[in-house]
Structure 1
Amino acid sequence: MASIEKRLRHGNTTWLARWRDLDGKQRKRSFPRKLDAQRFLATVEADLVRGTYVDPNDKTIFRDYAEAWRAAQVHRPTTRAHVETNLRRNVYPYFGDRRMVSIRPSEVQAWVSKLSTAPGALSASTVQVVHGIVASIFKAAIRDRKVASSPCEGTRLPRKLPREVVPLDTAVVETLIEKIAPRYRALVVLGAGTGMRQGECFGLTLDRIDLTRRTLRVDRQLVLMPAKPAFLAPPKTSASHRTIPLPRVVADELAEHIRQFPTTHSDGLVFTDGDGRALRRTAFSRLVWRPLVTVAGAPHGTGFHDLRHYFASLLIRHGESVKTVQNRLGHATAAETLDTYSHLWPDSDDRTREAVDTVLTLTQRQPHPAGNDQR
């Protein structure tokens, strides 16, 4: 039963509001005015009836709740590591020791601004991801009645500037293939000739290749976690599971690679380092890829993922549909494909002109004789 008591202490009058929460536990809060106590109790009682009650004195610390939330999520290993790293580096230093009910929207906005502008600022896309993690935590806290509302609502986030994919020239791709060490030649051909992601290429095993039918099954990728051995796991999304038709040039390179560098890896990995171990992204980038980009004269910042863009541009150039490109790349939706590569499809203005010019053929009009202008 809710009640209000008058308290007199050291000559000061306060009003103590008492109520019982959803668990039957008695709560209390003091106010300098009776009217404030009455209004507060009215709100509490209404929230209890609606089932939206939140303890205003809840002492749950953000870090404690976030860690419990993180442990309960059904995440892929890489996503789990990604979330843990972002919380530890970019969130806990600001909000880790704060009570959840004390975090204000203005503080979240100031935090986002600092992440975006401070020395070593994060990119706009990374800030959006980190803010999304915190927003998800508060959304769960609302369901658990730890907070009444999310301080992440209405946050103004930095805008990610659109960046058009500029595919590599075929001459550059051929130079990369020519200049790379023989052990990794087929790896570059595979990336350029199938559009597979780097983790999918690194995780390719012998039993997923059918050289007779010239097909390749993608249903795993190589996952690398800090301080842990590499392991095979499902690919990025369910749409990433796909069977890829192998062009002759790719099939021939794979066959030659398997002949020259027979695998000794326990999982049958096709591509390994000189010691027969699984390739690690950081080591491969430092020791193989970045030096190769320099030697080949490729554009600054060229990454292995650019081979995927090159493959997509080849399909588009040869008239493949959006659906085919989506399936070959393993995109979740056609919208994802269009968002990335729409600028590479033939311009609709040119097709409109060509359609009319092809069908509507008129005799070229002769100019009227001077002075014989018919109006």
Structure 2
Amino acid sequence: MAWVEERAGVRGTRFIGLYRDPDGVKRSAGTFSSRREAGRAANREEQKVLAGSWHDTTRGEITFRDYVENEWLPNKHLEITTRAAYTSYLNKQFYPAFGNRPLNKISPSLVQDWVSKAHREGLSPRSIKKYHVLLSSIFRRAVRDRVLVHNPCDHTELPKVITKKSRTLTPDEFDGLIRAVPDRYRLMVETFIETGMRWGELIALRPRHINFLRRSLTVEETIVETSKKHSPTGERFIVKPYPKDNEPRTFGVRQDWLDAIAERIKNEGLEPDDLLFATRLGTPISRNSFRTHVWLPAVKASGVDFNVRIHDLRHAHASWLLAGGSDLKSVMDRMGHAQIQTTQKYLHSLPDADDKNLNALDRITRRSHTERA
């Protein structure tokens, strides 16, 4: 129940409208010259409390940095690499722009100014969109926590992301590329194209993950590489028991690959729990080190005329399967995709895909003409 209290002062009697917030704490709705005005103000605030729309404006005075570091980030359940990426985004983009500002002083126009400035300074539309998603999630949580009433990221005008059609490595191009890879790493690169595994999954591969009798491979571990300062254990490489989708997956492999792997296990004297592809010390291979010292020189030497990433071998694997006649569902399961739409983007991605379409059209029209004759 809202109520009014009188206060005598040098300018006469004043009236304070009072009510209780959702936690039962006594709050003032303001001081007025008449009891009626004070009562109305107190009743308005009480109705907000009863409707669940009451907001404590003083909570929004917390700075952006303090809210992120003390409330938002500690309560996020993130992968180590994701947490490291978020920290990088915050340090590079958002703390300089918003760090010392109170949350309730960050307006939609201020967010729009950040977008415009980032675009002018050369940040790509795709990166701006990615950063804006992170920023919006911070303010969305602040709204949910009733620190803010509105999310200042709502309705921000973002630069248009133009999707560029990427090329897929063809089998002929891969043959040229694999010949340029040093012998020590050749089977490792062939395994990418044979299995379509992610980097972390492949460098975590061990002999015990391979069933030579059933000609199958099970992905049940992944290795995450991060800086020691972001690692909870202080280690650079962290072995996780399951891959990205938290569920092991098993798929078939060809006999030629199995024979090559069996020979490697024998020649290297590998035990079931050893890493199949590792440094000379038996430790996980660093992705950045491999890219710099092995992959980029091989791509350059191969004569491939476009930028090929290591991850593009996974894309090529899926594209080759679909171009060869595999069905979407089996490729989806093999790749470990959570949604079939992810797999669909690899349809018709090889250079000769449209030629196949035209040949099919030609065959059907010729048959129609023959039947009419």
Aligned to 2:325: 319
Shift of 1:25: 3.3
Q: Are residues 151 and 4 of structure 1, via their aligned partners in 2, closer, same or farther at CA, if it must alter by over 3 Å?
A: farther
Deviation digits for residues 280-338 of structure 1, max 9, x if unmatched?
11111111111111122223421111211221222122111121221222111111112
Structure 2 counterparts to residues 173-252 of structure 1, below 5 A: 173-227=174-228, 228-233=235-240, 234-238=242-246, 241-252=248-259
2:251 match: secondary structure: strand
CA contact (8 A) 1:195 1:309 kept: yes
What is the count of residue pairs matched by the alignment?
357
Partner of 2:93: 90
SS at structure 2 position matched to 1:362: helix
Instruction: Give how far 1:185 is off.
Output: 0.9
2:371 aligned with 1:362: yes
**Aligned mate of 2:264, from 257, 276, 283:** 257
The corresponding residue for 2:66 is 64
Other structure's SS at 1:203 match: coil
**Does structure 2 retain, via aligned residues, the 8 Å contact 1:192–1:311?**
yes
1:186-213: per-residue Cα shift (whole Å, max 9, x none)?
Answer: 1111011111112211111221112222
Task: Tell me: CA distance 1:151–1:185, structure 2 relative to 1, closer, same or farther (3 Å).
Answer: same
With over 3 angstroms needed to count, the CA separation of the structure-2 counterparts of 1:57 and 1:15, relative to structure 1, is: farther
Q: Does 1:283 align with 2:280?
A: no
Aligned to 2:232: none
Cα deviation, residue 268, structure 1: 1.7
Q: Give the letter for the 2:63 counterpart.
A: I
Q: Which residue of 1 aligns with 2:231?
A: none
1:7, CA displacement in angstroms?
Answer: 11
Conserved in 2, the CA contact under 8 Å of 1:194 and 1:311? yes
**TM-score, with length taken from structure 2:** 0.83
Instruction: Give the structure-1-normalised TM-score.
Output: 0.83
Q: What pairs up with 1:1-375 in 2 under 5 angstroms?
A: 1=2, 19-28=19-28, 44-58=45-59, 59-67=61-69, 68-119=71-122, 121=123, 123-227=124-228, 228-233=235-240, 234-238=242-246, 241-263=248-270, 268-341=274-347, 343-344=349-350, 351=360, 354-355=363-364, 357-358=366-367, 361-364=370-373
Percent identical across equivalent pairs?
30
Does the C-alpha gap of structure 1 residues 18 and 318 become closer, same or farther in structure 2, counting only changes over 3 Å?
same
Larger mean Cα displacement after TM superposition, 250-259 or 222-231: 250-259
State how far apart, in whole Å, the 2-side matches of 1:358 and 1:38 are: 87
Q: CA RMSD in A?
A: 3.3
Extract unaligned runs of 5+ from structure 1: 365-375
Structure 1 pair 62/7, CA: closer, same or farther in 2 (3 Å)?
farther
CA–CA separation in structure 2 for the residues paired with 1:145 and 1:178: 60
Partners of 1:44 and 1:259 lie apart in 2 by 77
Cα pair 2:223 2:239 within 8 Å, conserved: yes
5+ residue gaps, structure 2, are 229-234
Where 1:361 maps in the other structure, the secondary structure is helix
**8 Å Cα contact 1:4/1:18 also seen in 2:** yes
Q: CA deviation at 1:78?
A: 1.9
